[in-house]
Amino acid sequence: MNPPELTPNASPRIGSGSARQLWLVAVIAVLALLLVHWPTALGVIDTWNNSVSYNHGFLVVPVSAWLLWRERAKFAGVDWRPWWPGLALLALLGMLWFLGYASNIKSFRDLALVAAVPVTLITVLGRDFARRAAFPLAFLLFAWPFGEVFIPQLIDLTADFTVTALRMTGVPVFREGNNFVIPSGEWSVVQECSGVRYLIVSLFAGSLFAYLNFRSNRRRWVFVVLAVIVPIVANWLRAYMIVLLGHYSNNTIAVGVDHLIYGWVFFGIVMTALFYFGVRFMSDGRPEIAGPVSSATRAHATMRPVWLAAAATATLSAVAPLAAFAIDAADAASRGTYQVELAPALGMWTHTGDPQLSWRPPFENPTARASAQYRRDQGTVDVHVARYASDSGGTKLTTFDGSTMVDFDSEWRVLVRRDRVIGAIAPDFQVVEREIGARGVHVLSWQWSLIGGMEASGFVDAKIALMRARLSGRGTDSTGVALITPIDGEDVAAARARLQDIAQQLRPTLGTVGVADPVAR
């Protein structure tokens, strides 16, 4: 049989044997992407493995592959031509990855890599393929370990609902931040109570359920919205019921391990009810997928641009990692040996020994650190200084948990957190100020950092400073500072005056970041 003739405006279609070649080329392009981003890929897998919230990540690729195979009949007659605008999207994702590298925001790098996988497939296999495989490709984005950024807001909402519900049911509550006291004991809404795990699992399972069971896109989106709202509200009810059970049982049930067991059992019941509702009341029926259709036609006319597109995606994907490697090499060459020694005196403040307060700033694996208590006639201040030779790997000054989740420590209760500009010290600088309480102790803390010669306070400021330092070639050497003073029996203004006084003496001793001298002598 002679091969079908091609008109000038027609695109040759791919036969079954050539289709396998196309998929092979696409897989090679994805493997090349993963190879040049291998450290990022390992970081994503490590997050899947170590965080219960993201264990579902191991299922994403197999499920996406199964969805593609399940609906393979859709690909009969696909116009297998590379989609060249996809290279522009890959370039943008490369810029996002580089931004994540420069600011050491792992989530940016993870997103760039995960999103680059479907974009690579679309670039190599074409826009017509993407249109027919939209959901399996979009489903790959669930491999991105994202969601913890919402934990503080979810904690606040859970605490608000729990306290309000307790009061409405006649239980008196005294609240301090996200900690509260009821007649039967004390409770805290911490990271595990945020419900972020419920939300991630529900969205993952709910999206897949909606795609497989509904034909109408409107019904699919309604169910996905329910899959977001239901676990959040369910977590509020779970927290309220746990506290109520503990209260009325005199803390004999719904505490300890029971707390977690009851929570997951309740979540399982809620999700079962949600899926039952979807099948019983929302299902519009989904047509059966027809079997595979083959068309034996010539393929050689399209394989050359497909290979070219695969080579272009691999080359483009390597640009950002190579630039990062060059910057890291220059940074490592200028790095020295670091130590931290706090001076015997800072102005009128005298070094009196180790810190007396048990609260410690969340400095993660510093290269060197020092802590001391200083005294002056008006009181004491604990000083903590940590030095980082770099901001990468396991030694990071600027972490989300270190700057945000410290507000939800189960022992120390962060009563108030604010950003404060200290204008009485020239030049002006900004700190994160916290009022913290624990076991009858009330303290005030100031925290800030020095990165590349630039002072920064919160997480975002520190990441911007780190990015500017890295891209300007000043290196990523950084210093973290925390000052803590008691405020028991006095107003906050007096404690703030002590911190301002010692900060004025300490700041000039912090030195220039990047010089391998002690921070203070």
- 128-137, 295-304, 328-337, 342-351: least confident range: 295-304
pLDDT-based confidence at 109, cuts 50/70/90? very high
| pLDDT at 154 > cutoff 50 | yes
Across the range 116-124, mean pLDDT stands at: 95
Query: Residue 90 above 60 pLDDT?
Result: yes
**Angle CA 198–200–203, to nearest 5:** 105
> How far, in Å, CA of 93 to CA of 56, rounded?
24
What is the mean pLDDT of the segment spanning 317-332? 81
pLDDT at res. 453: 72
Tokens coding 57: 């990540």
Is it the case that residue 41 has pLDDT exceeding 60? yes
**Tell me, what DSSP letter sits at residue 491?**
-
Q: Which residue has the higher pLDDT, 392 or 354?
A: 354
According to the model, what pLDDT value does residue 406 have? 53
Task: Give residue 286's pLDDT.
Answer: 55
DSSP letters of 229-250?
Answer: HHHHHHHHHHHHHHHHHHHHTT
374 pairs with which residues across the strands?
351, 381
pLDDT-based confidence at residue 292 (cuts at 50, 70, 90): very low
Return all residues near 307 (Cβ < 8 A) that are at least 6 apart. 25
pLDDT of residue 392: 55
Query: What is the model's pLDDT at position 142?
Result: 95
Which pLDDT band, with edges at 50, 70 and 90, does 334 fall under?
Answer: low
Of the ranges 122-136, 351-365, 412-426, 455-469, which one carries the lowest mean pLDDT score? 412-426
Q: Which residue has the higher pLDDT, 372 or 16?
A: 372
Cβ burial, residue 55 (10 Å; 0-12/13-18/19+): middle
pLDDT digits (tens, 9 = 90+) for 295-312: 433 334 367 888 999 999
Residue that wins the pLDDT comparison between 300 and 279: 279
pLDDT for 1 equals: 42
DSSP one-letter string for 332-385? HHT---------SEETTEEEEES--S------BS-SEEEEEEEEETTEEEEEEE
pLDDT in the model for residue 425: 62
Contact 210, 279 (CB under 8 A): no
Task: Check residue 145 and give its pLDDT.
Answer: 92
Residue 11 reports pLDDT greater than 50: no
Q: Is the pLDDT of residue 293 over 70?
A: no
Q: What is the pLDDT of residue 151?
A: 83
Task: Give pLDDT tens digits for 395-451.
Answer: 466 665 555 545 555 567 777 778 777 766 656 778 888 888 776 778 888 888 887
So what's the pLDDT on residue 400? 54
Position 108 scores a pLDDT of: 92
Digit-coded pLDDT (tens) for 202-256: 999 999 999 988 888 888 899 999 999 999 998 898 888 888 888 888 777 766 5
| pLDDT higher than threshold 70 for residue 257 | no
Domains of the chain (ranges; CATH) run 16-144+297-329 (no CATH), 149-282 (no CATH), 345-510 (3.40.1000)
Phi, psi dihedrals of residue 86, rounded to the nearest 5°: -60, -25
Question: What is the structure's pLDDT at 225?
Answer: 93
pLDDT: which is higher, 327 or 351: 351
Q: Is residue 80 over pLDDT 80?
A: yes
Tell me what pLDDT residue 411 has: 65
Please spell the DSSP secondary structure of 303-321, one letter per residue.
HHHHHHHHHHHHHHHHHHH
pLDDT score of 153: 85
The pLDDT value recorded for residue 365 is: 77
283: exposed, middle or buried (C-beta count within 10 Å: 0-12, 13-18, 19+)?
middle
Per-residue confidence (pLDDT) for residue 512, from 0 to 100: 38
Give the pLDDT score at 291: 46
Q: Please give the model's pTM, rounded to 2 decimal places.
A: 0.78
Better-scored residue on pLDDT, 109 or 5 = 109
The most confident of the ranges 189-203, 277-291, 389-403 is 189-203
- Greater confidence (390 vs 460) lies with 460
Q: What is the pLDDT of residues 165-197, one digit of tens each?
A: 999 988 888 887 777 888 888 887 777 777 888
Comparing 199 with 336, the larger pLDDT belongs to 199
What average pLDDT does the chain have?
Answer: 79
